[in-house]
Chains A and B, each alone.
Chain A
Amino acid sequence: MLSGIYGFLSASFFVLMDAVDVAFTEAAVGSGISPLLMLLTVALVGRHEKQNPGRGLPALVLVTITGALLIIGTLSMPDFGSANAPAQTHVGPYYIEQSAAEIGIPNIVTSVLASYRGFDTFGEVAVVFTAGIGVLSLLMLKSSTPETPAVTSAHKHKILRIVSKILIPPILLFSLYVQFHGDYGPGGGFQAGVIFAAAIILYTMFFGVDIAQQVVSSALLRVLAAFGVLLYGSVGLVSMLNGGTFLDYSALADNPITGQHIGIIVIELGVGMTVAAVMVMIFYCFAGQVNTAREADE
């Protein structure tokens, strides 16, 4: 609950600082997915923390030193929003002035993210993929899913069923809009992936993991997660084969700007695919654990 509020707060924070794209991601991840995973974890472990006395004082000292250092760090920072700050005068202006001519899309954030620093984004996708692998290796779903999934309570709840039918299709549609509109407005693969995953997760929460698995199986998710990274990487490889450097989208087509467009759309698709697949995969793993724990209790 608190972490959900925190997620929304920091999202509004980012909006205030004119970082709409970041706010978007934070709203989807920080207030949607992560509190959910938190809840599932709490469902898995006990409610109360074990008492651990005697560690208080050194921890306090450490935290104080770190905090003091952080404050010292802010002392000589340029003023907030100052136009003369180094961050505004060195690399920034180049992006603002040149990106329209070099990449040709209105959203400069997407230009920087997907093209100028496209390799960082590739790395981030790999981070998401790694996290998925980590969770999967720890909480692997048992492959022995029952042949006849039990009719869960949601089937009896007419309201839930109908609400889900009203909600889920627009969410999926909206995520596709965010996915392909990232060049022009805030959005892109990360946000779209999370929103898409949220729809599936909603479905899973209504109908249970077993039934959701019939729609989106975990084997499919694995392939999708891997395929997203490979898709992103293959864009880089193709541009290498066309004579550019890795991820040089200008080499993808005769006209550099067309090349940039193609490149960005394809890599965003790769990002969206991996993010959505990994999110759902992680949720399945957690939910599967909760189910097994419940069975063990009974």
Chain B
Amino acid sequence: MLSHLPILQVILPLLGAPACLILGRGKLAWLFALLVSTLSFCIAATLLYTVYHHGVISYALGGWQAPWGIEYRIDLLNAWLLVIVSGSSTISLLAAQSSISTEITLDKQGLFYVAWLLCLAGLLGILATGDAFNVFVFLEISSLSTYTLISLGPNRQSLWAAFRYLIMGTIGATFILIGIGFMYIMTGTLNMADLAERLPSASESPTVFAAYAFILVGISLKLALFPLHLWLPNAYSQAPSIVTTFLAASATKVALYLLIRFTYTIFPSEFSQFIIPLADIFVALGIVAVFSASIAAIYQEEIKRAIAYSSIAQIGYMVIGLGIGGVLGLQAALIHVFNHALMKATLFMALAGIAVRIGATTLTSMQGLGRKMPWTSFGFVAGGLSLIGVPLTAGFISKWYLVSAAALAGRWPLVFLILLGSLLAIIYIWRVVEALYFKSAADNSPVKEAPLTMLIALWLLILGNVYFGIDTRLPVSISYEAATALVEGRP
């Protein structure tokens, strides 16, 4: 059975979804989804272990060898992201039932978990596959289910947010499809490894250039890279709180993975470096994203929205890492993918807990909650510290690697700008901390602490933030190996 792990990783949630639809509603569906998600997390962890010690795994679907059939190809890069995505799904699902019971009516809860499992399967499928068209198919699954999840949000605006995301996301997906089509026309293959072999001979042609341009823009839409980020704040702030927790920790990471995969593995390296000054564009867009989004975050009254803006800024940091390039830059980006998943999940989980108890996450409604919900409020503080990059938290490690990558590349202005960006994070986190602890509430009615499952999930995340801020062996060694393999173009 062990040799089937790559495919089990994806089909477990994919088959779990229809089974969940038949199974039923409410609590039962929740337990089932949680079980499926936990199992796929275990599979992902096993895969990561196997890949780290024994190298790349290739799995021929249908028994047909690539390029004739579809190949699943697990290397360190996607094994790493598989762990992040399935992990964040599991931990958000743990808290999901208590959170959505206040936000979604009972008859829709079953469908909610079906859509969740489909979304998980889609994201995992994008990561695991070694076939460019298969990426698109699973992108469709994950996108459609994401729109569904967002539209189930508590307010009517969530429909509008989901619709806008649907339009933007569909344009993105179509662009990616056009790009894949162009590549197929020029090479006659869809397999990624095969594409990498056959594209260099055609790299002069404008068709390949157009293919790369379309794919790049399509992915950037999905990634919410500045200036294509406009869908994200609405989508994140209107979705059910727990969905935001999951999406913030996983969806944009998968888009970043695609960006890395297409830039480093598939397209010839001389192509992406010389024809367009891609690295500089990445750095510039990243910096603009960090500053514009951080400043926007400072002026938000709704905290879920503020943290959503902060996600755009953090994506900026990752893209800066890509733009710096080299092993160190890539490593910084990969470490930040993991750490950002940890801290954003913590922040949104804390907000979800607050939303369950007081029904809103505006700055004024959160005043004085520090005393009423100490455990949850502390979660927000811990996530915030990590986001800023205070030593002994995971966020510090990200910033450290990013800054040293920039410094080693001799780009001192960049170092300065990254540090300045962190200062902006202090401001928008501090506003919340001030409201939580230093302002007294308008009414002094007691508020209960968040439900137990949510607190467990939250504190697991907090411990993760602290643990990976001190013991960094796991992310550092894996991201180093993955980055080296990518830069050297090892298969």
Q: Give the distance in Å from the alpha carbon of A248 to the alpha carbon of B148 in the complex.
A: 32
Bitwise interface map of A from 78 to 118 toward B, beta carbon under 8 Å scored 1, else 0? 10000001111111101100000000000000000001111
| Segment of B55-63, B265-273, B319-327, B398-406 in the binding face | B55-63
Chain A residues near B100: list those with CB within 8 A: none
State whether A244 touches B11 (Cβ < 8 A): no
State whether B62 touches A91 (Cβ < 8 A): no
State whether B188 touches A137 (Cβ < 8 A): no
B14: interface (CB < 8 Å): yes
State whether B18 touches A226 (Cβ < 8 A): yes
**Nearest CB in chain A to that of B187: its residue:** A86
State whether A137 touches B18 (Cβ < 8 A): no
Q: Give the distance in Å from the alpha carbon of A130 to the alpha carbon of B206 in the complex.
A: 36
Bitwise interface map of B from 119 to 137 toward A, beta carbon under 8 Å scored 1, else 0? 0011001000001011001
Count, A-B residue pairs, CB within 8 A? 183
State whether B198 touches A129 (Cβ < 8 A): no
CB contact under 8 A between A136 and B68, given known A127-B144, A233-B11: no
B411: interface (CB < 8 Å): no
B213: interface (CB < 8 Å): yes
State whether A222 touches B21 (Cβ < 8 A): yes
Chain A residues near B133: list those with CB within 8 A: 117, 120
B7: interface (CB < 8 Å): yes
Q: Give the distance in Å from the alpha carbon of A73 to the alpha carbon of B108 in the complex.
A: 45
Bitwise interface map of B from 423 to 461 toward A, beta carbon under 8 Å scored 1, else 0? 000000000000000000000000000000000000000
A282: interface (CB < 8 Å): no
Chain B residues near A133: list those with CB within 8 A: 17, 21, 111, 114-115, 118, 145, 148
Chain A nearest Cβ from B24, distance in angstroms: 11
State whether B148 touches A245 (Cβ < 8 A): no
A251: interface (CB < 8 Å): yes
Chain B residues near A77: list those with CB within 8 A: 185-186, 207
State whether A130 touches B115 (Cβ < 8 A): yes
Chain A residues near B114: list those with CB within 8 A: 133
Residues of B whose CB lies within 8 Å of any CB of A are 4, 7, 11, 14-15, 17-19, 21-22, 59-64, 67-70, 107-108, 111-112, 114-115, 118, 121-122, 125, 131, 133-134, 137-138, 140-141, 144-145, 147-148, 151-152, 159, 178, 182, 184-190, 198, 202, 205-207, 209-211, 213-214
Bitwise interface map of A from 221 to 250 toward B, beta carbon under 8 Å scored 1, else 0? 011011101100110110010001111111
Q: B118 touches which one: A78, A130, A227 (CB < 8 A)?
A: A130
Q: Give the distance in Å from the alpha carbon of A130 to the alpha carbon of B182 in the complex.
A: 27
Residues of A whose CB lies within 8 Å of any CB of B are 69-70, 72-78, 85-92, 94-95, 115-120, 122-124, 126-127, 129-131, 133-134, 136-138, 140, 143, 222-223, 225-227, 229-230, 233-234, 236-237, 240, 244-251
Q: A123 touches which one: B137, B148, B202, B213 (CB < 8 A)?
A: B137
State whether A86 touches B188 (Cβ < 8 A): yes
**Nearest CB in chain B to that of A136: its residue:** B111
CB contact under 8 A between A90 and B187, given known A117-B70, A134-B148, A137-B108: yes
Chain B nearest Cβ from A126, distance in angstroms: 5
The interface residues of chain A, by DSSP majority, are classed as helix
Q: Give the distance in Å from the alpha carbon of A120 to the alpha carbon of B132 in the complex.
A: 11
Additional A-B contacts beyond A130-B118, A133-B111 (5; CB < 8 A) = A70-B210, A124-B137, A130-B145, A229-B18, A245-B7
Chain A nearest Cβ from B45, distance in angstroms: 21
State whether A91 touches B70 (Cβ < 8 A): no
**Nearest CB in chain A to that of B63: its residue:** A248
Q: Give the distance in Å from the alpha carbon of A237 to the alpha carbon of B22 in the complex.
A: 19
State whether A140 touches B107 (Cβ < 8 A): yes
CB contact under 8 A between A134 and B205, given known A69-B210, A127-B140, A229-B15: no
Q: Give the distance in Å from the alpha carbon of A229 to the alpha carbon of B14 in the complex.
A: 9
CB contact under 8 A between A226 and B115, given known A244-B63, A245-B61, A247-B61: no
Q: Give the distance in Å from the alpha carbon of A247 to the alpha carbon of B278 in the complex.
A: 40
Q: Give the distance in Å from the alpha carbon of A150 to the alpha carbon of B191 in the complex.
A: 56
**Nearest CB in chain B to that of A274: its residue:** B18
